[in-house]
Chain A
Amino acid sequence: MKKKDRSRLPMLAQTGPVSVWMVLFVTLPLLFIIYISFMSRGEFGGVVYEFSTESYRTILDPMYFTVVAKSFRVALTTTLLCLLFGYPLAYYIAKKPPEKASRLIMLLMIPFWTNGMMRLNAWMLFFQMNGPVNYVLTHLHIVEKPVMFLYTDWLVNIGLFTNMLPFAVLPMYSSIEKLQKSLLEASYDLGADRKKTFFRVTLPLTFPGIFSAIILTFIPALGTYTVTDMLGGGKVLYIGNIIKNQFGAIRNWPLGAALSVLLLVITALLIFLYSRFAGIEDLEVV
């Protein structure tokens, strides 16, 4: 018995701290959110600890379906943009010698050294009516009057895209970098041209990276609220804004918690789908 205990010690020492950390700061808060979602709203907006399914009945309102659908559309557009621009970028970086690649990745991350709100404000200054973009456009006579870029869907998409791009590029880069050159050579030797090799060899083998990129961009984009608040002018609410409002201005914590659970379920479904179709062990985070 004693001997067995001793053999467990190294394992406990290795996994213990992180397990305690995860239980304390991930599992318990999550369970608490699920618990609150089944409670009632207090008179002053606090949580009253009485069982209620009202929050979940509220979510069944078609209004929330519209919001979820809208949030999906924005998150999907962002993800597609990230893949479309991120994959070639990741490919380009992966084909560089390691030292140069490191430097390029550093360049990709430099904007993240500043506060996210600063980056959004920069976008707003850049695109405002008397900002530099409109100045150039009007002075080159491309447009007669300044164009209203602010508070449009495409600016929201650009904001989300730039915020998420590194999260898409890094896992795809890692996948592409691991790709064995000999497999590509074999493909050429067997008569496939570059296009065929890309679609039949490169793309399928880097699919785990692509799927990680999808998960790492789609899920945060689905729940985001600062970008949509600032660049969208607060006129249209997405699921993230609604959750934020429940914990802030509207003070309906149980409903906010129930909506968070809804987001969790959607996320879990996505990962489940991945594990079914691609095998969870392939999930390429880095």
Chain B
Amino acid sequence: MKKALATGLAVLMGLSVMTAGMTVTASADDSELNIYMWGDYISEDLIADFEAVNGCKINLSYMSDNADAVNKLTAGAGSDYDLIMTCDAYMESLIAGGYLEEIDTSKIPNAEANLNKSYWTEDLRGYCVPYLMNYIYVVYNKDTCPLEEITCYNDLIRPELAGQIGSVDGARNLFPIALVALGYDPNSRDEEEIKEAYEWLTKYNANVLAYGSTEQNMVNGAISVMFTYDGNTAWAMDQMGEDNPLVIAPFTEDPVQLGMDLYVIPKGALHQDLAYKFLDYICDADVMAANLVEFPYSCPNDAAIEAASDDYKNSPAFDFGYKTNIFFQEDVGDALPIYDQYYQMLKVG
């Protein structure tokens, strides 16, 4: 009995450890491509087709935070990964730190031909290839939201919205809206301004029911307002059916954040030829258009949008009038620890 118990306890502990994390090991075989990116963010059919055409195996590993990718890149990820997904906010530091391979755009003609150059800017072109984009905006349920209308970020701190908001998380997503609401640069490096933004966010935090799972909470009625990604909104609108009561907040002046997820090749990557083939493949109009069916996010690939389904083109989640009134998350350099400190204070309460 005692032995059975001991075995039981050992198994129990072992299971807890095993379920805590999984890693994929890489090898230096030429027929492999190792990619580190967000989970549930690329079509499995696309991956399978690429494997079939090129006779290779793609090993996907997933990150749980943008910081994971930056940690991998700055720790020297070339021996483990051939492509890593990161976002525009970190590009300046990553390029300056010499953590990325330069990209020869002549090897990716599809990207040259199809990507919108206002997103794939001169500064970025030599080091990355944009994949998908996302707006982070405010959406509300017109039937249950206590406010008639939400037209600016300052509406989000009104006491009527107590416990009504579901929000994305992270210092670099939250502080910009506070800074915009206060009339400052969303990428401010000024400690006084960041401190004021923190105070604004304490009021916002009081109205937030939960961070994360915004779209599920909206669909199951736990919240009536969400500050979230356009892709999440598309999902929620789809779940709630044709006459869904979700409204993209008609912002009048405040700009919204546009984030870009992009692929970079880490310094010293082992399978660069295959990485180039993959980048060119996903920039093909039809390939990306098929990917958009499964992942209906905003896309920097003009030709793919042209080729995309009517469902995608007419998706109500992208139907709002201030698409060009945007700001990007920029690298804030030395000010990042200040953001982190105030973010922590915000969460500790």
Footprint of B on A, CB under 8 Å? 41-46, 63, 66-67, 98, 101-102, 105, 109, 112-113, 115-117, 128-131, 146, 148, 150-151, 166-167, 170, 173-174, 177, 229, 233-237, 241-242, 245, 248-252, 285-286
Are B74 and A286 closer than 8 Å at their CB atoms? no
Are A131 and B220 closer than 8 Å at their CB atoms? yes
Are A150 and B65 closer than 8 Å at their CB atoms? no
Say yes or no: A237-B347 contact (C-beta < 8 A), given A113-B15, A249-B65, A251-B67. yes
Complex: chain A residue closest to B74, CB-CB: A44
Smallest CB–CB gap between B89 and chain A, Å? Answer: 13
> Could you say which residues of chain A place their CB within 8 Å of the CB of B163?
148
> Could you say which residues of chain B place their CB within 8 Å of the CB of A44?
70, 74, 93, 97
Smallest CB–CB gap between A150 and chain B, Å? Answer: 6
Give the residue of B5, B15, B75, B208 whose beta carbon is less than 8 angstroms from that of A174: B5
Alpha-carbon gap, A113 to B8, bound state (A):
12
Are B70 and A98 closer than 8 Å at their CB atoms? no
> Could you say which residues of chain A place their CB within 8 Å of the CB of B349?
66, 236
> Could you say which residues of chain A place their CB within 8 Å of the CB of B1?
98, 101-102, 177
CB of B118 closer than 8 Å to a CB of A: no
Max chain A CB contacts within 10 Å: which of B1, B71, B210, B344?
A: B344
Complex: chain B residue closest to A128, CB-CB: B220
Are A66 and B348 closer than 8 Å at their CB atoms? yes
Say yes or no: A242-B5 contact (C-beta < 8 A), given A128-B220, A151-B210, A251-B71. no
Alpha-carbon gap, A128 to B71, bound state (A):
35
Say yes or no: A45-B15 contact (C-beta < 8 A), given A66-B348, A235-B210, A249-B170. no
Alpha-carbon gap, A139 to B8, bound state (A):
41
Smallest CB–CB gap between B280 and chain A, Å? Answer: 30
Alpha-carbon gap, A163 to B71, bound state (A):
31
CB of B335 closer than 8 Å to a CB of A: no
Are B348 and A237 closer than 8 Å at their CB atoms? yes
Given A45-B67, A250-B343, 11 additional A-B pairs, CB 8 A: A44-B97, A45-B336, A98-B1, A117-B19, A130-B220, A150-B217, A151-B209, A242-B344, A245-B344, A248-B64, A252-B337
Smallest CB–CB gap between B217 and chain A, Å? Answer: 8
Task: Sort A-B residue pairs by CB-CB distance and give the 5 closest, nearest first.
Answer: A233-B210, A234-B211, A129-B221, A237-B347, A44-B74
Give the residue of B68, B208, B222, B348 whose beta carbon is less than 8 angstroms from that of A248: B68
Say yes or no: A67-B12 contact (C-beta < 8 A), given A251-B67, A286-B6. no
Contact residues, B5-21 vs A (CB, 8 A): 5-6, 8-9, 11-12, 15-16, 19
